[in-house]
Amino acid sequence: MVKSENLLGICLAAGATKNVSVPAAKKYIRLNLFYLEGIEVQWMDNSNCKPYHQLYLPFKHEVTGLDLIFNEGRRSP
List pLDDT tens digits, range 50-66.
888 898 889 888 787 88
> What was the pLDDT predicted at 64?
77
> What was the pLDDT predicted at 1?
62
> What was the pLDDT predicted at 60?
85
Q: How far apart are CA 36 and CA 26, in angstroms?
A: 17
> What was the pLDDT predicted at 47?
76
> What was the pLDDT predicted at 63?
80
Mean pLDDT of the chain: 88
